[in-house]
Structure 1
């Protein structure tokens, strides 16, 4: 099936059907889903569990997470009876970064922040995606300008895999309804104004009317991206 037709097939289905279709179309290949336990990721995790799809779920633990995120991880694993593999940053790389620039170098400059993101996220992601043919993400087009034009299916030439964004066309109200209808556990920080949740020192609650990602790296003017989905 041509990529254009594959996109049409995905867009014509609901979320569980999209997940099931991906699993069947790429049967025999390694399919992975990266979760940071945000609302989008929780919806996809539920769909994977409900369809019993042979899709591996992993998460990146930067070492700077909120306690609420760890509690949600344990709750999610228990509720759905699934396994989630955790990838940690290189101990030596973190030790070198901290020794040279301190624990909070990311506040100093965008370059420093991206360096920290590389050590704590990008390098572990490379290990997590090793051997995968398909990478499923929880991206939605309305989350940021950088994601506005992302398709539901794309070929990542640098990583030599298909990247599939099954929620790319969902608005927030559709997501909220799905979470409510399926009684999906969520991070309690969402009710405290934390819409996009990342590392604890790099995330704040947002005020009414602010962009959903305004709470990420709030001290800098940037695209609010760590590089995972550049």
Structure 2
């Protein structure tokens, strides 16, 4: 597993900087093209390093893409702290938070139990729907396209991820602008431009979700092994990205 806290900015070789500059130029072009093609494109940020990269470029380049995040009500303190850093770093960027419906959360807790998501994939997906998918649906009601920070090498479920696809359920376009970026590419950008990131990465969390559903991983494990670690690797999606084709 790549450990970002061990990779310091002064050690980035010239060829790595050139590679990063080229990747960044292409990414800016992609984001600008998306904004030109659509009237109301929105970027769903999970505050992961991938999403911080995209947010940084949207803010710095003044690209007219709205950025929002989903506050599930069960995020780590470190993730919530990053929200404050984003507000301070990008004063001209409005990062809107969408929350789950309180009544739906209460009904789930009352009937299933607060941590029922450990009991089965179905109950975990129901929790994800309440805390993530339904708020995402609300966030995208007026959008004609949305963006994610997904990458191909994050997991087996994303190995064939394209740059653009169609969100059939919402009948809008969907884009994965860094689908072809590696983990090292992402961290090269984050460290080179000193973009704020979640401090859980330095504690062995290469992929971060809700606090009770995420744990650190071992050096030899897949980067998403800490997400819903009690499930089979083929089921490790929350439902946000399973409605596109």
Taking structure 1 as the reference length, what is the TM-score of the superposition?
0.91
Query: 1:16 maps to what in 2?
Result: 28
1:129 counterpart (121, 131, 140):
140
Check if 1:107 corresponds to 2:129: no
In the alignment, structure 1 segments of 5+ residues that lack a partner are 1-10
Give the superposition deviation at 1:210. Answer: 0.3
Query: 1:31 maps to what in 2?
Result: 41
Change (3 A) 1:53 1:12: closer
Give the superposition deviation at 1:169. Answer: 0.4
- The CA distance in 2 between the partners of 1:20 and 1:50, in whole Å, is 12
Give the superposition deviation at 1:145. Answer: 1.2
Query: 2:74 maps to what in 1?
Result: 64
- 1:39-58 maps to which residues of 2 (within 5 A)? 39-58=49-68
Query: 1:6 maps to what in 2?
Result: none
Query: 1:8 maps to what in 2?
Result: none
2:90 counterpart (62, 70, 80):
80
- The CA distance in 2 between the partners of 1:93 and 1:188, in whole Å, is 31
Give the superposition deviation at 1:137. Answer: 0.5
The list of structure 1 runs, each at least 4 consecutive aligned residues, that deviate by more than 3 angstroms after superposition, is: none
- The CA distance in 2 between the partners of 1:55 and 1:229, in whole Å, is 19
Give the superposition deviation at 1:180. Answer: 1.4
- The CA distance in 1 between the partners of 2:217 and 2:200, in whole Å, is 11
Render the CA deviation track for 1:70-100: whole Å, top value 9, x for unaligned.
1101101210111111111111100100110
Change (3 A) 1:107 1:130: same
Contact 1:20 1:51 in 2 (8 A): no
Q: Secondary structure of 2:67's match?
A: strand
Q: Secondary structure of 2:150's match?
A: coil
Render the CA deviation track for 1:201-230: whole Å, top value 9, x for unaligned.
000000001001000011121431111111
Check if 1:228 corresponds to 2:234: no
Query: 1:210 maps to what in 2?
Result: 221
1:183 counterpart (188, 194, 204):
194
Give the superposition deviation at 1:16. Answer: 2.2
- The CA distance in 1 between the partners of 2:192 and 2:24, in whole Å, is 20
Give the superposition deviation at 1:170. Answer: 0.5
Render the CA deviation track for 1:49-89: whole Å, top value 9, x for unaligned.
01111111111111000011011011012101111111111
Give the superposition deviation at 1:162. Answer: 0.8
Taking structure 2 as the reference length, what is the TM-score of the superposition?
0.86
Query: 1:142 maps to what in 2?
Result: 153
